[in-house]
């Protein structure tokens, strides 16, 4: 691994990793939440412990809040920025050397919109947002239905399937590949790259994981650079080609936007679909209600998003002095972790929050897609795909059963499954799947 990248790892992940390990050995629930198997398998019991310590928790890697009101306010407050610096607790020489190292464009680095504040954020978001307007997303409905049917037909012929690799991941990667103009043959390539790159969003990853992520990022960016040059020579009829042809963004910015389009269009969707399946099997009364009243599927998807969100945390940097109340004063340069999962289980906003209830009237007030100017740009597309894919799966295979325990991904920030073996049982044949009424405005779009 390049020695300069090792410096970045040491400052951004190595030092926090040591701090988290030390605090985890002492039983600190915050450290256990951000690292270790317990935080990945059952973060919600740890969040309940942390909630009892007050509205703002001070942990080994900064501040955190699990309070719905505070989380929503911070996400919408311009006194907090998205670009988070290296922790000031990192020794000065290491921090200064690390800050001079430029990584290949990725989700955790500017010019990724995830790490930009206005006005740069506004300029970068505008061309990408055109791919996710309600009208643009609605036009994808027929293609989502067709892709879903093709996948279910292929699964039916086999009798068993991995509901992540064969279904939940394949629906969004097919749609996003078409939006970006990639050939179908390259979908699996991007699935492999994405699986290796996404740990960069976690805190305290190992040096080996970081090295693999940077190598995969460089390979993916090389592919994207060649793809962009080809689209400049031979424009095509897809969203990304329009962005390239506009000339508004540099190649580096286009690569960053392509990375974000893949994350916004893929990561949230695969985890929403994947997280929903075991939830419904473990709550058979809710699944029975959906089978009897399929018009409840959009509400069920909102409850899945609230109950087990695909993105668990977001980080913000304090730009000016902020008084959060209860004696908590944050100074510029400090960082705070916003627990989206904690906000979604806050009993002050969601009564009986640990009960999975698809009839919950305020489920769509969850913060799973964030809030404010950094709200997930792919939220409406994720909802659309889940609203087609999940009903179609359960309609086609009424005897569907999991075949063993699904395995979780080894991540703390992104929550989803790696594998989910299943027995399909008899196939009921393709049927029309109910969807949201054409006049409904998709929340979060």
Identify the helix (H) or strand (E) that includes residue 127.
helix 120-129
Give me the pLDDT at residue 442, please: 31
Identify the helix (H) or strand (E) that includes residue 126.
helix 120-129
Averages of pLDDT over each 10 residues, the chain, 445 residues: 83 91 91 86 94 82 90 96 81 86 82 87 83 83 95 94 97 93 92 92 92 93 95 90 87 88 84 98 98 97 98 93 84 90 97 98 97 91 95 97 94 94 87 42 32
Q: In what order do the strands lie in the sheet with 160-162?
A: 160-162, 421-423, 401-402
pTM above 0.85, yes or no: yes
Burial label for 43, CB within 10 Å (0-12, 13-18, 19+), is buried
Fold of 3-423: Cytochrome p450 (1.10.630)
Number of H helices, E strands in the chain: 20, 12
Give me the pLDDT at residue 433, please: 46
The answer for residues whose C-beta is within 8 angstroms of residue 47's C-beta and 6 or more apart is 33, 66, 339, 341, 342, 345
Give me the pLDDT at residue 246, please: 85
Contact 430, 153 (CB under 8 A): yes
Within 10 Å of residue 122's Cβ, how many Cβ atoms?
Answer: 13
Q: In what order do the strands lie in the sheet with 335-339?
A: 56-59, 62-65, 335-339, 313-318, 80-81
Domain locations in the chain as residue ranges = 3-423
Give me the pLDDT at residue 438, please: 33
Give me the pLDDT at residue 233, please: 94
How far apart CA 149 and CA 78 sit, in angstroms, is 44
How far apart CA 386 and CA 378 sit, in angstroms, is 12
Give me the pLDDT at residue 430, please: 54
How far apart CA 440 and CA 422 sit, in angstroms, is 34
């Amino acid at each position: 691994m390049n020695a300069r990248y090792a410096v970045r790892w040491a400052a951004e992940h190595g030092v926090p990793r040591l701090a988290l390990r030390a605090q985890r050995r002492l039983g600190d629930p915050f450290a256990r939440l951000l690292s270790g198997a317990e935080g990945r398998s059952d973060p919600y019991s740890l969040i309940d412990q942390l909630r009892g310590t007050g509205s703002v928790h001070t942990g080994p890697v900064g501040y955190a809040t699990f309070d719905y009101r505070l989380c929503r306010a911070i996400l919408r407050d311009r006194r907090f920025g998205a670009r988070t610096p290296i922790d000031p607790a990192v020794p000065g020489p290491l921090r200064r050397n690390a800050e001079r190292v430029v990584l290949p464009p990725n989700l955790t680095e500017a010019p990724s919109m995830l790490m930009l504040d206005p006005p740069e954020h506004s300029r970068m978001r505008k061309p990408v947002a055109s791919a996710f307007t309600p009208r643009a997303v609605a036009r994808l409905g027929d293609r989502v239905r067709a892709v879903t049917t093709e996948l279910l037909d292929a699964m039916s012929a086999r009798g068993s399937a991995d509901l992540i690799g064969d279904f939940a991941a394949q629906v969004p990667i097919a749609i996003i590949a078409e939006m970006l103009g990639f050939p179908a043959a390259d979908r699996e390539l991007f699935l492999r790259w994405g699986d290796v790159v996404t740990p960069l969003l976690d805190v305290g990853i190992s040096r080996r994981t970081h090295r693999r992520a940077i190598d995969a990022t460089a390979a993916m960016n090389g592919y994207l650079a060649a793809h962009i040059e080809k689209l400049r020579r031979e424009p095509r009829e897809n969203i990304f080609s329009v962005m390239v042809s506009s000339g508004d963004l540099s190649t580096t910015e286009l690569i960053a936007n392509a990375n974000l389009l893949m994350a916004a269009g893929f990561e949230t969707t695969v985890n929403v679909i994947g997280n929903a399946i075991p939830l419904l099997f473990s709550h058979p009364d809710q699944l029975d209600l959906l089978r009897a009243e399929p018009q409840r599927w959009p509400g069920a998807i909102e409850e899945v998003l609230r109950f087990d969100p695909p993105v668990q945390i977001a980080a913000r940097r304090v730009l000016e002095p902020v008084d959060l109340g209860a004696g908590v004063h944050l100074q510029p340069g400090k960082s705070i972790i916003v627990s989206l999962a904690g906000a979604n289980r806050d009993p002050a906003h969601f009564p009986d929050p640990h009960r999975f209830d698809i009839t919950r009237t305020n489920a769509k007030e969850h913060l799973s897609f964030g809030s404010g100017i950094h709200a997930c740009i792919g939220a409406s597309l994720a909802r659309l795909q889940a609203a087609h894919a999940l009903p179609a799966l359960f309609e086609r295979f009424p005897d569907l059963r999991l075949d063993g325990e699904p395995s979780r991904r080894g991540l703390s920030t992104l929550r989803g499954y790696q594998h989910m073996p299943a027995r399909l049982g008899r196939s009921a044949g393709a049927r029309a799947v109910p969807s949201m009424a054409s006049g409904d405005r998709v929340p979060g779009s």
